[in-house]
Amino acid sequence: MMAQKRMVWVLWSIGRSSAHRHAFIPMSGHSSSSPIIQKPPPLHSENESLLENLSSMGVDLNMARRRQPGVLRKLLTNEQGLAQFLMSKGADQETIASIISRFPRSITRSCEHLEERWKLWRNIFKNDSEVVGILSRSPESFFRSSDNENLQENITFLRSLGITPKDLHRLLTTAPRTFSNSVELNRNMVELLQSICLSLGGKDHEHFAKTIISKNLYILIRSTNRVKANVNFLLSSLTLSQAEALLLLQSHGAQILDLSHESLKRNFKNLQVKLQCLGCSKADFKKMILNYSLMLFISSERLNEKLDCLMDAGIHIHQIIQKPKVLDFSLDILNQRLQDLSRLGYDFQKNGIAVLDSSKKRFHAKIERLGPLEMESAAVEVEKGAAAIKQQFLTSKENFYAFLESGCTGGKDDEANKEEPSEEPEQKRMKMDKDEERKEKRKMRGQNKSRPHTKPQSYEDRRLCPSITRERETKCVFGEKCRFLHDVSEYMSGKPEDLGDQCHLYNTFGKCHYGLTCRFAKAHISPDLKNMVKEDLHKHSTDNETVRNHLDKELQKRLRKKQVEFTGAEAYLKTIIRGKKPEKKSTDECTEENHSRTPNPTTDAPDDQETQQEDDRSAPVKTTGPITDEDIIKLRPCEKKQVDFTDKLYLAPLTTCGNLPFRRICKRFGADITCGEMAMCTNLLQGQSSEWALLKRHHTEDLFGVQLEGCFPDSMTRCAELLNQNIDVDFVDINSGCPIDLVYKKGGGCGLMTRSTKFEQIVKGMNSVLDVPLTVKIRTGVHQNSNTAHKLIPELKNWGVSMITLHGRSREQRYTKQADWEYINTCSNLAAPVPLFGNGDILSYEDAMKARETDVSGIMIARGALIKPWLFTEIKENRHWDISSGERLDILRDFTNNGLEHWGSDTQGVEKTRNFLLEWLSFLCRYIPVGLLERPPQKINERPPFYMGRDYLESLMASQHVGDWVKISEMLLGPVPKTFSFLPKHKANAYK
């Protein structure tokens, strides 16, 4: 017994010391050279050393305790090996922490086991990132089973059934638990399906099983008892012949086999009773199920509502039995279609109900053929959510696009618009049956979450080497290995034609740094192919820096090599690990001690901004002896930079569209506060140039902040310290309102509102390292009709935020409901004296006046600025601005000039500017000129009907077809490249 205890002691000491050597945050109080002597944890208690390790990695210990508490008592674990393995496969620290939090048993897997299992998964997936994506969504699918042989046997078994690699990929993506089941379970399911086939007289039982699995991937993770019960119930209740049963199970019926048995019986019984009440026979009921068995997924209440709706419209039940797919549409769509057909006097008994079972496009085409004039006038009267426009400007969709086509000059876009201007061009359409087309239409709603981005540099096959473009005296450092051209004559022979005679960069700054590659090069390239310079103008522009917050190359190298020190962040994070709370001091105490405060001298040379900040505070005093008081080292709240947010107009941080060129437009029209686009803290800490570009600040932005997104205190605090030392901002904002799934599911954005402990640690940590105010943007809550902001705001005050912005909608609402300004007013009273800005549905100065009647300190404007950036002027001058189409085109021209300054005037810069312009035009087209409105002002949730503008350009700007947006871009940036393609954020529009 004593020998066994001694062996446990030795193993525990070795395991824990190994873990400490590789910890994310080293344990303080011990040197790395001296051994750590600790007592093993008591029996049945948690391993404190393991808890410290996991906490330093960002693991949610409370979640881990709920999921698998026994893991936290283990003496030998491999958390650091797991982290290093996943990092080598492309996973970030947040993903690793999330995986361990949700499936703690993952830290018990050895590196050899992980490597072997990863290879098995990679036989199905194309790259490591796909596997990491599955793990972040469902970690148990990878770690649940430790039997790699079982996984290999599962893959071999499924392949032996004839399942293709594509189906295997889909199976592992949508139902990964299939592969963690034992082979016997999967084999039992397949054998069950094969036995069902044989019992029904089927000949090819292997094909039968494969067909059902490919149509319903989730069936393998269901119990055989459920599937057997459902099959027996259908066979006995419908009295099917063997041929009918085989046909049903290999078509729609395959998808209802994994439905819970109670739900299947309940929905089946309800449908049967309903049809009997309507006078249908058993044969009618059987026919309906065979035609479309998926209706058994519809709940009893919803099915009754749909049948009653159709019957009230004069449709006979036998017509529904013949066309049961009509029940697959939502109740709202059915009601709207029935109203449209009723206005035209459509006779369902004579013409049938096939028109109801059609795609949206085909239905509207049918309506227009039946009576376009009557429908046009009726739509104006009854259409919900449409803005009221004067009658003389209204038109039909067909006439609107015919007018635009008549005024264009011809070319590629006309061919794309001939058949159906408001849909995708012909080359993007795919022919499909009705059922597939309806599913495709459903898929094309919402955002393009994984849209392919065409890189602007792909439009230029041969690019000139930067050493020649910038006319450097030294030769290219890459020599013969350089992938760019060095022959100027060869480059010029294949260079596309210039887009104009005047170069905006040359005229503004005296020199265009893009030289020969500039698409307006004829303005500044001499006959001997030299780049000309206006010396006086160039000297003036060089002396006055217009854009700040560039990423220093040396800093980028240090970030990528993880050589940047975060002393302030590390000091704070240690207080979290130890459970130590820093002492709070009042403002009066800070004022009294301010005169005697001695700053901590630094060894690094400060930049101009840091020097200026030091001058604003006390001058550095040389001290002797050690300084141990932590309160002397960091700034106290009374010493931080103060910003007056009161009664300002705040341009919201807007992803994609809120770029620097757009902010310059809004600043010119009167925006007081601007903020950069949401930046991911992990990407900033990795030194990604594309993420650091979001922090750039134009010199006209006099009150500017940056917005950070993250979900862990370590990364957010380090990022705040990094930005505090290297960029010039007036405040830093925490994004805790982002609703998108990619951010929310990781615990960021709106997810922070539900993780108060992490949220508190993030706010306090960032405050401890920032010299500027820290602000927070939140929503009313996560779930609809369940507001939580009023509970969070008092906590935010105590945590030390300087300003709160509240969007008057929950995450679930997105933009489908109106913003709740009454609730915003309630929250503003709770926030006092901390300023609270309200956000939501501001599109006119009248909306702003109503918002200011509440107790908010200011207004944040988001979509309203995208639809009409001159809104800031309207609010400050208290008027409606009936802006002309020519003035709006001038605004777009200013944006393109700003874009050429920001992204460049070469092909890459021009096409990048064009892409961002097209993204913005997807919002600008929603604007309705004031002079056309029946009752100004326009409301933000009112969609514009088809109308003719007061001139051709105004009509073109009202088009919601992306091909017309491209025409507008060609007015400003010349013709698009031959291989140009554009896919906006919303799936309803596309151009290729």
904: left (phi over 0), alpha (psi -120 to 50) or beta: left
Residues 670 and 764 in one domain: yes
For 797, other C-beta atoms within 10 Å of its C-beta total 15
> How far is 425 from 54, CA to CA, in rounded Å?
53
pLDDT for position 467: 83
Establish whether 465 is a catalytic residue.
no
What gap in Å lies between CA 88 and CA 458, rounded to an integer? 29
Determine contact, residues 958/402, Cβ cutoff 8 Å: no
Same domain, 903 and 873: no
pLDDT at 905 (0 to 100) = 93
Per the rule left: phi > 0, alpha: psi between -120 and 50, beta: everything else, 345 is left
User: Does the residue 848 lie in any domain?
Assistant: yes
Tell me, yes or no, whether 734 and 825 share the same domain.
yes
Q: Are residues 841 and 899 in the same domain?
A: no
Direct distance between the N- and C-terminal alpha carbons of the chain, in angstroms, rounded to an integer: 76
CA distance 962 to 983: 9
Considering the domain architecture, whether residues 847 and 914 belong to the same structural domain is answered as: no
Give the tokens for residue 516: 């020969």
Q: Indicate the residue type of 514.
A: Y
Residue 172: how many CA atoms within 13 Å on its side-chain side? Answer: 27
Q: Are residues 965 and 901 in the same domain?
A: yes
Per-block mean pLDDT, blocks of 10 residues, the chain (992 long): 39 40 37 43 73 89 88 88 90 90 89 85 79 81 74 75 69 66 77 85 82 74 82 83 82 78 83 81 81 77 83 83 82 85 80 83 79 42 69 88 71 37 36 44 50 64 82 80 86 88 93 92 90 89 88 93 93 79 43 39 38 40 44 54 88 93 96 95 94 95 95 95 95 93 89 92 94 95 88 93 94 82 93 94 93 93 95 93 94 96 93 93 93 89 89 93 92 89 60 34
Q: Is the pTM of this model over 0.75?
A: no
The reply to whether 985 falls in a domain is yes
Is the CB of residue 698 less than 8 Å from the CB of residue 546? yes
pLDDT of residue 547: 93
Q: Which residue has the tokens 């601005």?
A: 881
Strand order in the sheet with 649-651: 649-651, 858-861, 836-839, 803-807, 774-779, 731-736, 704-709, 674-680
Q: How far apart are CA 814 and CA 446, in angstroms?
A: 11
CA distance 727 to 722: 8
Going by C-alpha positions, the residue among 303, 305, 330, 299 that lies closest to residue 445 is 330
| 396 neighbors 376 (Cβ within 8 angstroms) | yes
Q: In the prediction, which pLDDT does 779 show? A: 94
Query: What b/e readout covers 569-599, taking b as 16+ CB neighbours within 10 angstroms?
Result: bbbbbebbeeeeeeeeeeeeebeeeeeeeee
Q: Is residue 837 within 8 Å of 653, Cβ to Cβ?
A: no
Assess contact for 703 and 730: CB atoms under 8 A. Answer: yes
- Whether residue 832 sits in one domain with residue 896: no
Domain for residue 515, yes or no?
yes
What is the dihedral sign for C-alpha 920, 925, 931, 936? negative
CATH number of the domain that residue 825 is part of: 3.20.20.70
Which of 849, 975, 927, 915 has the alpha carbon at shortest distance from 453?
Answer: 915
Q: Which residue segment(s) compose the domain that 984 sits in?
A: 883-991
Within a domain: residue 564?
no
> What pLDDT, on the 0 to 100 scale, is given for residue 335?
85
Is 794 within a domain?
yes
Are 723 and 653 found together in one domain? yes
**In degrees rounded to 5, what are phi and psi of residue 447?**
-100, 155
| Cis peptide leading into residue 937 (ω within 30°) | yes
- DSSP state for residue 355 in the 8-state scheme: T
Q: What's the rounded Cα separation, in Å, for the pair 607 and 612?
A: 9
d(CA 987, CA 965): 15
Are residue 756 and residue 675 in the same domain, yes or no? yes
Count of beta carbons in the 10 Å neighbourhood of residue 81:
18
Of 860, 862, 928, 869, nearest to 898 by C-alpha is 869
Residues composing the chain: 992
pLDDT value for 243: 83
Asked if 283 and 259 touch (Cβ cutoff 8 Å), the reply is no
Whether 816 maps to a domain, the answer reads yes
123 in a domain, yes or no? Answer: no
The total of structural domains in the chain comes to: 3
If asked whether residues 814 and 917 sit together in one domain, one would say no
Look at residue 759 and tell me if it is in a domain.
Answer: yes
Catalytic-role residue among 197, 512, 666, 738? 738
- Are 870 and 968 in a shared domain? no
CA distance 855 to 875: 18
What integer pLDDT is reported at residue 348 of this predicted model? 83
Looking at residue 180, what is its pLDDT? 65
Q: Do 872 and 881 contact (CB within 8 A), yes or no?
A: no
Spatial CA neighbour of 437 closest among 424, 422, 455, 451:
424
Q: Which residue from 273, 268, 354 is spatially nearest to 319, judged by alpha carbons? A: 354
The answer to whether the CB of 349 falls within 8 A of the CB of 316 is yes
State the Cα–Cα distance between residues 824 and 857, nearest whole angstrom: 11
DSSP H/E element including 924 = helix 907-924
Asked which of 548, 568, 591 is the last residue of a domain, the reply is: 548
**Selection from 605, 500, 393 nearest residue 910 by Cα:** 500
Encoded tokens for 500: 């104009």
| pLDDT at residue number 448 | 58
DSSP per-residue codes, 248-296: HHTTGGGGGTTS-HHHHHHHHHHHHHHHHHTT--HHHHHHHHHH-GGGG
Numbers of helices and strands, H then E, in the chain: 50, 10
Domain boundary among 823, 847, 881: 881
State whether 920 and 835 are in the same domain: no
Structure tokens at 588: 């009066």
| Cβ contact 2:548 at 8 Å | no
Residue among 359, 352, 350, 349 nearest 328 (CA):
359
What is the token pair recorded at 290?
Answer: 């065979």
Whole-number Cα distances in Å, 260 to 106, 211, 252: 31, 21, 16
Contacts of residue 645, Cβ cutoff 8 Å, sequence gap at least 6: 673, 802, 803, 835, 837, 857, 858
pLDDT computed for residue 232 by the predictor = 86
Quote helix, strand, coil % in the chain, to nearest 5: 55, 5, 40
Query: Quick check: helix, strand or coil at residue 590?
Result: helix
In this structure, which amino acid lies at residue 807? H
**Which residues share a beta bridge with 806?**
778, 838
| Last residue of one domain, picked from the residues 862, 881, 900 | 881
* pLDDT score of 990: 35
